[in-house]
Structure 1
Amino acid sequence: MQFMSHAIGWEDCAMLAMAPLGILTIIISAIRVGGPMWMKALIGRARENIAAAEIDLMSSTSRDVCELNNGKGIVRCQGSAPVWEFIILLPGDTSRNDDAVPHTECEFDQKPASSASPITVVYDTREEAPNVSLNLQNSTDRTEIRTFAIFGVGLQLGALAFFAAMTFHPTFSLSFTIDGNPAPAYAFPLAAGGTILLVLGLLLCAHVVESSTDKEIYALANGSSRMRIYWLQQEQTVSDQAFEAIATQPSSDRSNIIMSRRGHAHYRNSRLETKTSIGAVISIFGFVFQFVGFRGMHSAAPIGQLVAVAIMAASRAWLRRNLARGLRQTRLTPGHEVDWLA
């Protein structure tokens, strides 16, 4: 559920539900986040800590969950850690050299070059850990993911149209007979109906995970300014893992910053539990109906759905491509982390 751990809108839910991969994982994830206690007991998660589900599935950070740089990338850990978030507003003139702030990895602390232009530094004083991974990628630009979401809907509808054509088209269906006989009458209704139920159920399950967090997006009021974000972490040990003193920043300037926090008002909400129950039941019935329907159809039907699943899996991986890149890091001298930024 790495994809849903960065979900901040309906587009992410649609991307996960169309031609889904990991059906049971999605259902179990929704139960872990917002399911009733009897469902959590059914999957063996009745005593699970809230922070465990937050680490694996939710986009938020809190006093119980933090994000740290281990020198290779951003990892989520259970517990709290001294990580400071600094938002620096720079004047929007293009004459300023982007390399003025050091971003190459080094063994010694460095300081940004001084500038005569006015610079505003904003320090986040909230007790919750900052959202590092969400702001490393440009999560607030929804154009790309909306395009892929619409493409996913069209791809899934195209698969259903293919099922219908190979069953009812007077000439096209002749190429998809089973031992010279047409497919049984129950095959297409179960395959198509099961696919629709499965998509709707998983869409509801994905919505449960996405809506369990409260998101806030802060944008620059002055379009002529530029915003850079720095996260300074001290040398520390969290959850038996050792972390070095490192400064982390996105690979490019940002125009927005997003903050995601665990929604305490939603977590044990009866409405959320109802959505989870309905989504899980619909998804399971849809999966069974789809499976039975595919058994009665020509083998091209499940292969067509499998091709759609592969395409959507590749699309989801492409949308989260910045998880493996997109950060700049600088190793700092322990005890002098803030001095590097001064």
Structure 2
Amino acid sequence: MAKYLVSLIILGCIAGVQAGNDLSDFSNNLATDLGPLLALFGDSITVQYLSESTSFLDYFIFAMAPIGIITAIVSTIRVCGSSSLRAFIGRSQEGESSIEAALCTSTSRDVCEMFNKGGITRVLGRPTILELIQDPRIRNGQGLDLFRNYLDRSISSETSSEWSRTTPAPKHDSNSQTEMLAPTPNLSLNVGIIQRSRWVFFAVAATGLLLESFTLAFAGVGVWVFDWTLNEGAGGAARDYAPTMFILGTILLSTGMWSCAALIGQTTHEIRYKRQDQPDTWLSQLMWLQPGPQVIGDQSFDSFAFFEKEGKRLKIWTSSTKDLSKKYEGFAEW
């Protein structure tokens, strides 16, 4: 029995040494092991998040957990960079429409959004799609109308409207306040993305800030207070500058990622209308009708219809357009 006990102790020591070596190898090769995963999922997730970010709170959340760092930098150059910068990343011949379709929330005369097999696809082209509203308070046979016409008529009339504009009106004089709306419906902002309460985004931002702060504090306290280090042979100089470089680098990285997201997001201008509290019997109903089949950008799209559901009415309607007043690059005429 004693012989078996000694054998088990020896095997346990060997396993412990082997486990220690495996843990050391894993910690040393952690970046190499996670590199393919970040390269695989970081690009698509980063582009999708940047293309749906519209507020500074969205940019802050992205800065707290930057996955595709290179993708964010390249995307910023594609949207805001000069010709020389775009040529540096191999994008000098890329058109503005393709950039808008990939990285912006806006729709324009060249970029549109279409229903495709239960999802929403951004393509280049001019679609045939109707954004309608049905208002039960109108009894004269005109209860169904285009939503932009409904907004224009409700603004010009003196009667109270169910929808009120939350973003400031343009400074220049305009005969119609709906002239600045996107020419085609923004399906992704109004249909594709589930609208959460504002406190959800604040909670996510606060959680990210706490985790980021804990990481920075742990790096400083672990080395400066508890004298923890992976390399036992490291000198005092390494223990002094390593946490400082890590903390400063993390802060600069988060600031840079916030700047990249803000530069991309602020190239578009969002106009929002908020639905006022009304009795359930008075609530209007939004609907989107896509006739089909139609060919947009060498792609075929079938017919589709989307109606607001009872109890899940849209609270904020958004129209996003490319802000052409902001120029990041100047061209000289010779």
- TM-score normalised to the size of structure 1? 0.65
Aligned amino acid, residue 65 of structure 1: V
Task: Tell me which residue corresponds to 2:52.
Answer: 6
Q: Deviations over 1:220-256 (max 9, x none)?
A: 2453343432111121011111111111235521122
Paired residues in the alignment total 244
Change (3 A) 1:19 1:238: same
Change (3 A) 1:258 1:79: same
1:33 paired residue among 65, 79, 100: 79
If asked which structure has higher relative contact order (CA below 8 Å, sep 6+), I would say 1
1:168 paired residue among 198, 221, 224: 224
The question of 1:188 aligning with 2:188 is answered: no
Change (3 A) 1:90 1:195: farther
Aligned amino acid, residue 130 of structure 2: W
C-alpha distance in 1, partners of 2:80/2:125? 22
The question of 1:261 aligning with 2:316 is answered: no
2:253 paired residue among 160, 173, 198: 198
Deviation at 1:153, TM superposition (A): 1.6
Q: Deviations over 1:159-210 (max 9, x none)?
A: 11111121111x3x34x34135465332111111111111101101100011
SS, match of residue 82 in structure 1: coil
Whose radius of gyration is greater, 1 or 2?
2
Change (3 A) 1:259 1:196: same
C-alpha distance in 1, partners of 2:148/2:303? 19
SS, match of residue 48 in structure 2: coil
1:132 paired residue among 176, 187, 197: 187
SS, match of residue 239 in structure 2: coil
Q: Alignment RMSD, CA only?
A: 2.6
Deviation at 1:154, TM superposition (A): 1.7
The question of 1:242 aligning with 2:300 is answered: yes
Structure 2 residue runs of 5 or longer lacking an equivalent are 1-46, 150-180
Q: Which 4+ runs in 1 deviate beyond 6 A?
A: 115-118
C-alpha distance in 1, partners of 2:141/2:299? 41
Q: Which moved more, 1:250-259 or 1:137-146?
A: 137-146
Task: Tell me which residue corresponds to 1:80.
Answer: 126
The question of 1:63 aligning with 2:109 is answered: yes
| Identity across the alignment (%) | 30
C-alpha distance in 2, partners of 1:230/1:19? 36
User: Within 5 Å, which residues of 2 pair with 1:42-53?
Assistant: 42-53=88-99
Deviation at 1:142, TM superposition (A): 2.7
Task: Tell me which residue corresponds to 2:290.
Answer: 233
Q: Deviations over 1:51-109 (max 9, x none)?
A: 11111111111111111111231111111101111133457xxxxxxxxxxxxxxxxxx
Aligned amino acid, residue 290 of structure 2: Q
C-alpha distance in 1, partners of 2:291/2:200? 35
C-alpha distance in 1, partners of 2:285/2:200? 22
Change (3 A) 1:116 1:63: closer
Aligned amino acid, residue 231 of structure 2: I
User: Within 5 Å, which residues of 2 pair with 1:103-142?
Assistant: 119=143, 121-124=145-148, 128-136=183-191, 137-139=193-195, 141-142=197-198
C-alpha distance in 1, partners of 2:69/2:242? 21
Q: Which moved more, 1:116-125 or 1:160-169?
A: 116-125
C-alpha distance in 2, partners of 1:42/1:168? 42
1:16 paired residue among 48, 62, 72: 62
Aligned amino acid, residue 123 of structure 1: F
